[in-house]
C-alpha cells in the first residue's frame, strides 16, 4: 500500500518489500525480490544511500549464487563495491562466489581483503558474528579443496575454537596423516 500511496516516489518501500520476499527463501519469491531490487537500484531516487545500494547488490548476488550463476553474482557484487567499497559483506560474498566457482585463490584473496576492513557502525542490519563464521568456513573450504591440509587444520582449529557449539561435519572430512 505504501508503494501505491507514494506512487513510487520513495523507493525504500520497494527495497523493504524485496527484502521480505527474499527472507521467504523460495525460488519464486527470490525472482520477484531480484526484480524489485533491480527496480530500486535503477531508480533516480536520491533518497538512497551508498550502504543501502551496496546491500541491495549483495542481496541480488545472494540470489544468483543460490542459482549457481556465479559470474552474474560477481558482476553485481562489483557494482556493490562501486557504491560502497567499505562494506565488508561484499568482499565475503565475492569470496563465496569464487569458492563455489572453484577459484579458491580468488576466494582467499577476497576474504583477505574483506578481513582488512573494520566492522563499521551502520544503520543497516548486520551480523558480524555470522560474517566471521562465513569467512572462516570459506577459508577452511578453500584450503581443503586446494589440498593444503596444514593450513586447513589451522583454520579448522580456529573455527571450532571460535564456535565450539556449531556442527562442522561439512568441514571435518578425513584427512591424510
Cα separation of 91 and 114, whole Å?
Answer: 5
pLDDT tens sequence across 35-88: 999 988 987 765 567 888 899 999 999 999 999 999 999 999 999 999 999 999
Q: With a cut of 50, say whether residue 134 has pLDDT above it.
A: yes
pLDDT tens sequence across 81-125: 999 999 999 999 999 999 999 999 999 999 999 999 987 666 556
Read off the C-alpha cell for 20. Answer: 521480505
Backbone CA torsion sign across 11, 17, 18, 23: positive
| Distance (Å) of CA 11 to CA 48, 82, 88, 175 | 8, 20, 24, 51
pLDDT at position 166, please?
A: 74
pLDDT at position 177, please?
A: 43
Read off the C-alpha cell for 84. Answer: 560502497
Cα separation of 15 and 175, whole Å?
Answer: 45
Amino acid at each position: 500500500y505504501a508503494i501505491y500511496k507514494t506512487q513510487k516516489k520513495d523507493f525504500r518501500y520497494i527495497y523493504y518489500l524485496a527484502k521480505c520476499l527474499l527472507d521467504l527463501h523460495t525460488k519464486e519469491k527470490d525472482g520477484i525480490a531480484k526484480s524489485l531490487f533491480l527496480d530500486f537500484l535503477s531508480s533516480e531516487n536520491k533518497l538512497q544511500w551508498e550502504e543501502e545500494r551496496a546491500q541491495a547488490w549483495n542481496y541480488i548476488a545472494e540470489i544468483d549464487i543460490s542459482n549457481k550463476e556465479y559470474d552474474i553474482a560477481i558482476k553485481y557484487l562489483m557494482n556493490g563495491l562501486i557504491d560502497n567499497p567499505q562494506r565488508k559483506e561484499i568482499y565475503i560474498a565475492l569470496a563465496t562466489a569464487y569458492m563455489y566457482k572453484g577459484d579458491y585463490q580468488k576466494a582467499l584473496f577476497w576474504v583477505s581483503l574483506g578481513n582488512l576492513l573494520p566492522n563499521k557502525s551502520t544503520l543497516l542490519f548486520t551480523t558480524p558474528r555470522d560474517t566471521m563464521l562465513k569467512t572462516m568456513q570459506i577459508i577452511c573450504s578453500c584450503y581443503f579443496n586446494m589440498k593444503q591440509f596444514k593450513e586447513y587444520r589451522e583454520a579448522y582449529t580456529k573455527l571450532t575454537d571460535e564456535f565450539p557449539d556449531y556442527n562442522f561435519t561439512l568441514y571435518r572430512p578425513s584427512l591424510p596423516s
